[in-house]
A = this chain, B = another copy of it.
Amino acid sequence: MEKVKLGIIGFGTIGFQHAKALTSGKVPNCTLVAIADIDEKKRESARNLYGESLAVFSTAEELIASTLVEAIHICVPHYLHPVYGIAGLKNGKHIMVEKPAGVYTKQVQELNEEARKHPELVFGVMFNQRTNPLYQKVRELVTSGELGEITRTNWIITNWFRAQSYYDQSPWRATWKGEGGGVLLNQNPHNLDLFQWICGMPSRIRSQVYYGKHRDIEVEDDVYAIFEYPNGATGCYITTIADAPGTNRLEICGDRGKIVVENDSIVFHRLRESCSAFNARFIGGIGQPECWKIEIPTKGTYTSHCGILQNFCDAILHGTSLMVPGEEGIKGLALSNAIHLSSWQEGNWVSLPIDADLYYDLLQHKIRNSKK
């Protein structure tokens, strides 16, 4: 079988996981040929694990320049995702970027622009949760029109508990300079991507964000956001790292009923008659359309990281469509940036697309004023 020769930049937690999967043959159309890390201990660890079978570089630049690799998986801290993404594309490499695509949209716009200059190169982003049959099915119910036009969204995604010790592991964690954000940027990218993938992008957002409320960190750890969508629908997004046990409950209301995703199952409360049609014809004061409670089956396997990498390599080898085109990485990030931007402007409405320059400037201000 033809295989893509892949290099991983960053042999930290996630880089290690991907390397392990690849060297175990879990992605049949991909072969790991190189690793780069600036930390000698991590390089040593890579050499001990894989010996002569792969090249180990001490800088990202060397790996990017190497003719050994056709494709690069970027597993370094968030700020560097677009930096190495752009460098890789300029060096003719296919690019897979870990989530989030970057820290601020201005930076990711530049990555997307570079990608547009290289239509011959494949550019993906690691939103592995899009391979979850649960969310694929919810999206299918929405896009097929079964739910009718969306009227309200509500995601309580508070099951990201992190103790103080998590933040104390590394000095760059949960700092403006090191990570550029907290729960929205580190834990939530998957949820924010799925939210927009299923329900679409809102037209504006307002928020109430708490910074260092529950943990000794300077970034956000508790978030309430209200969304307004182009069609007039509204929504609410709640997240934190402080709730144990947290909740993961996505509710989407539409003209034909309500979908609730919780405990790994989908319940569709389906109206026999649409809400709008009922409202238009009903003459009786209090009453509502007949509603059926339906347990929705899902099918397929949650292939996760390996599924995304397999698809990425299929795109390189055979021109297969990407499950998550890299250009889409900016969408969830824009939600995250907009939530902060509203909070930094007293919770007022922020329209999307956001003012990317303003966000960049305010973030730099946070970095300059950091006490961490």
Contacts and interface: CB of A to CB of B under 8 A. Distances in A.
Interface of A: 151-152, 154, 156, 158, 161-166, 169, 206, 208, 210, 213, 215, 222, 224, 226, 232, 234, 236, 238, 240, 242-245, 247, 251, 253, 257-258, 260, 269, 271, 275, 278-280, 282-289, 291, 346-348
Contact of A245 (B206, B224, B282, B291): B291
A199 to B, nearest CB: 15
B284 A257 contact: no
Contacts of A151: 242-243
Given A163-B287, A164-B279, A346-B348, A258 B243 contact: yes
26 contacts: A152-B158, A154-B238, A162-B285, A163-B279, A164-B280, A165-B283, A165-B284, A206-B208, A208-B226, A210-B234, A215-B279, A224-B226, A236-B236, A236-B238, A243-B258, A243-B275, A244-B257, A244-B271, A244-B275, A244-B288, A245-B257, A245-B258, A245-B288, A245-B291, A247-B251, A247-B258
A206 to B, nearest CB: 7
Contacts of A289: 244
A234 B158 CA distance: 13
A215 B278 CA distance: 13
Contacts of A152: 158, 240, 243
Contacts of A238: 154, 236
Contacts of A244: 257, 271, 275, 278, 288-289, 291
A222 B226 CA distance: 12
A293 B156 CA distance: 19
A244 B244 CA distance: 31
B161 A285 contact: no
Contacts of A224: 226, 234, 236
A239 B270 CA distance: 20
Nearest to A243: B253
A284 to B, nearest CB: 6
A291 B287 CA distance: 40
A151 B221 CA distance: 13
A158 to B, nearest CB: 8
Contacts of A283: 165
A154 B287 CA distance: 26
Contacts of A257: 244-245
A286 B222 contact: no
Contacts of A154: 156, 238
